[in-house]
Structure 1
Amino acid sequence: MSSTIATVAFIGLGVMGQPMARHLARAGLTVRVYNRSVAKAEAFVAEHGGSHHATPRDAAAGADLVLVCVGNDDDVRQVTSGEDGALEGMAPGSLLVDHTTASASLAQELDAACRGAGIDFLDAPVSGGQQGAENGALTIMCGGEAAAFARVEATLAHYAKAVTHMGPAGSGQLTKMVNQICVAGVVQGLAEGLHLAEKAGLDRQRVIEVISQGAAGSWQMDHRHRTMIDDDYEHGFAVDWMRKDLAICLDQARELGARLPLTALVDQFYGDVQAMGGGRWDTSSLLKRLQRD
């Protein structure tokens, strides 16, 4: 198959996948989509063209590149190597890229399956959230063969500000684990800082305006402080998904013999938020947990 990517299949049109697929359609690629909710797939095609299909296998048939963005390891297996999965429809020489945040062991499993079928594979989790996907400004960390990365880099750049090859299969997922570990610690620190400022009677907005100019500044501070002050958490990256990601991090840490005490603690704090009914709240809702009477 030619190294030129003209036809792509996108599997999973959730809050991340839908805008990513839209960027590809706007870039002039032929986009074939599959989504468990047929209505979403139909709406996408009605607005952006391309075609929707009844199974991942059908969507993948004839595609130069298959992109997957679903929920977890089991979801990925179902749409790739399961019955009527994408691998059944992919031709030798095509590429499979998994954008799902999943385990490194799954990435290695898929890499082996793809090698057996003459298909290139990259694990390529993303960072930047729904806003990054909408704006085409995601960060993508990729694991797999360098030649496969070179083939797909320009296509992924349609919805990313940074696309980086991190090493062999699984390296993308391992890098995403580092990302989520760092995010969890920063969000907890921001929540505790705003909580202290509130208890001290300080103008929290003014506090942020001052400290964000120094060493305390962060993406979370810039993009989440206002909604935290406003007690608005009906947006962003859900606590349920963060707990899924942190479970992957903690499992990997046990396997590697790495110690992640802060990550384990913040994971428990997110469990408290879930118990408050905040499973779908943004991850910055750690502040709401501190504000309980």
Structure 2
Amino acid sequence: MSVTAQSTHERQSTHLCAIHARESMMAKLAFLGLGVMGYPMAGHLQAAGHEVTVYNRTATKSEAWVAQHGGAHAPSPREAAQGADFVMSCVGNDDDLRDVCLGKDGAFKGMKTGAIFVDHTTVSAAVTRELFGEAKGHGVSFIDAPISGGQAGAENGQLSVMCGGEQVAYDKAEPVIAAYAKICRRLGDSGAGQVTKMCNQIAIAGLVQGLSESLNFAEKAGLDIPAVVEVISQGAAGSWQMSNRYQTMADDKFDHGFAVDWMRKDLKICLQTGDEIGASLPVTALVDQFYKEVQAMGGARWDTSSLIARLRKLG
């Protein structure tokens, strides 16, 4: 064989190996819950080459997803999960998650032995551990994998994913989660992902209140907001929230995804867990009440940066 022919043969072999490696990574998936986060996340999985079947409580959304992305949709979690290697969920709360897992047509009843359930919902660590145990009884692995990054992160495939569960199951799931993750880490056993998400929400609550007070203070002092942010964002005060939300906060625009109602659900979980483990959360408790005031102002569906609207109302 000539050197040229050998080189061509090696390139072809390398190309075929790459194709086979990619094909070996493709999986049959189900995705349960097509809200503002789940809809684009499921889309990333389909775009990555996985075989995706979706389920949503409102079937018209499942139909719209299939029309946009391909794949298939099923009328129940159980049917969506049949034959799947991985089942992902992103639903509303503890009760919603229990229902899609354990309900009359729950996913656990349709999952094959050895399959892995990956839950992206923000729920209590208690329900996560409960479902981890139930999954074992069905011969299934369960990973809690709450997410951070908001609607934009879901749409751009740039989410932070914090996981809890068994290492072996996590190692299998991580390459699939990579379709929409900027970073994905296992933090410990079942529930560790949810507790880490609580840390995330606790940090955000205080940060958004501080940013709201800072911008409101600058407004009342008659300063130019963009100029102020340009300077202070380059120092110790800088944050993602400041860089990405200061202008919309200044403009009274609060339509960027993660709603006040959802934040209050999350903060309730944080405060309950704080009581259980003996962690003091005075700022979190205060900000939760501020969000309650925003709800009373009609801002239940505004995004979390709307804390500044409360300060403006106070004058």
* Class of the TM-score when normalised by the shorter of the 2 chains: over 0.9
Give the TM-score, by structure 1 length: 0.98
| Structure 1 residue corresponding to 2:128, chosen from 103, 107, 118 | 107
Aligned length in residues: 291
Q: Identify, as 1 or 2, the structure richer in helix.
A: 2
| Structure 2 residue corresponding to 1:91, chosen from 101, 112, 122 | 112
Return the alpha-carbon distance in structure 1 between the equivalents of residues 120 and 26 of structure 2.
17
Whether 1:200 and 2:221 are equivalent positions in the alignment is yes
Q: Is there any run of 5+ residues in structure 2 with no aligned partner, and where?
A: 1-23
Return the alpha-carbon distance in structure 2 between the equivalents of residues 64 and 274 of structure 1.
41
| Structure 2 residue corresponding to 1:227, chosen from 241, 248, 258 | 248
Q: Deviations over 1:119-172 (max 9, x none)?
A: 111000000000000000000000000000000101101100100000000000
Equivalent pair of 2:26/2:49 in contact (CA under 8 Å) = no
Partner amino acid for 1:47? Q
C-alpha deviation, 1:6, in angstroms: 1.0
C-alpha deviation, 1:117, in angstroms: 1.3
Q: Deviations over 1:249-268 (max 9, x none)?
A: 00100111111000000000
- The percentage of counterpart residues that share the same residue type is 61
Q: Is there any run of 5+ residues in structure 1 with no aligned partner, and where?
A: none
Match of 1:274 in 2: 295
C-alpha deviation, 1:236, in angstroms: 2.3
| Structure 2 residue corresponding to 1:249, chosen from 255, 270, 273 | 270
Match of 1:59 in 2: 80
Which residues in structure 2 correspond to 1:1-293 (within 5 Å)? Answer: 6-292=27-313, 293=315
Return the alpha-carbon distance in structure 1 between the equivalents of residues 187 and 25 of structure 2.
23
SS in 2 for 1:291: helix
Partner amino acid for 1:134? E
Return the alpha-carbon distance in structure 2 between the equivalents of residues 11 and 180 of structure 1.
24
Equivalent pair of 2:245/2:305 in contact (CA under 8 Å) = yes
Return the alpha-carbon distance in structure 1 between the equivalents of residues 237 and 93 of structure 2.
33
Match of 2:5 in 1: none
Tell which structure's C-alpha radius of gyration is larger. 2
Q: Deviations over 1:40-63 (max 9, x none)?
A: 100111121111111000000011
Q: Deviations over 1:59-85 (max 9, x none)?
A: 000110000000100100011111100
Equivalent pair of 2:36/2:257 in contact (CA under 8 Å) = no
SS in 1 for 2:284: helix
Return the alpha-carbon distance in structure 2 between the equivalents of residues 85 and 118 of structure 1.
15
Q: Deviations over 1:216-260 (max 9, x none)?
A: 000100110010011101222100000000000001001111110
Aligned-residue Cα RMSD (Å) equals 0.9
Return the alpha-carbon distance in structure 2 between the equivalents of residues 74 and 223 of structure 1.
33
Equivalent pair of 1:5/1:65 in contact (CA under 8 Å) = no
